[in-house]
Amino acid sequence: MTKHRIGFGYDIHRLAEGEELWLGGLLIPHHKGSVGHSDADVLIHAICDALLGAISLGDIGMHFPDTDPKWKGVDSKLLLKEVLNKVLERDYSIGNIDATICLEKPKLRPHIDAMRSCLASILAIDIDDLSIKATTSEKMSFVGTEAGIKAYAVVLLYKD
């Protein structure tokens, strides 16, 4: 009998002038970037939280606290690998992931497939099993004023 587990993740970061904008494992050219203790990659953080949620293992802040200098400026791809290992250790496989990034500027369409390719390769899944979507906030709220960026992710895990 196949056992399934669903997980949901959400993350948010402030945007600031002159910071780097790391998103989906890539450095996106833009005059503003996300502020955080790590490289502040909201998409990876949302996916990590979805994976951790699916195995009821808390959240990313619990495993990689922003008070620990060890994680200062860390490449979030390394965090994703560590989280994936926790999933695999429990004999779960990733069915599929669906994520949405909310960002006013820049347009992300030209970068989406490169992000999918980068993250699918880290997670060792088919690119067709990793969906990444992007939306603006129609100039409303903190996303719309370009004060911040957020991302949501859902994941389905299964164990045969």
Residue 71 C-beta: closest distance to Mg ion, Å: 11
Strand order across the beta sheet in which 130-135 lies? 32-35, 3-17, 148-159, 93-102, 130-135
The length of the chain in residues reads 160
Give the residue, chosen from 5, 7, 9, 11, that forms a contact with Mg ion under the rule CB under 5 A. Answer: 11
C-beta of 4 vs 8, nearer to Mg ion: 8
**Interface with Mg ion, residue 77, by CB under 5 A:** no
Q: Which residue from 160, 151, 159, 157 is spatially nearest to 60, judged by alpha carbons?
A: 151
Residue 42 C-beta: closest distance to Mg ion, Å: 6
Q: Which stretch binds Mg ion (CB under 5 A): 7-15, 77-85, 112-120, 130-138?
A: 7-15
Residue nearest to Mg ion (CB): 45
Q: Which of residues 111-130 bind Mg ion (CB under 5 A)?
A: none
C-beta of 66 vs 113, nearer to Mg ion: 66
Q: Which of residues 35-74 bind Mg ion (CB under 5 A)?
A: 45
Q: Is the peptide bond before 106 cis (omega within 30 degrees of 0)?
A: yes
Q: Which residue from 50, 43, 52, 40 is spatially nearest to 83, judged by alpha carbons?
A: 52
The residues that touch Mg ion, with contacts defined as CB under 5 A, are 11, 45
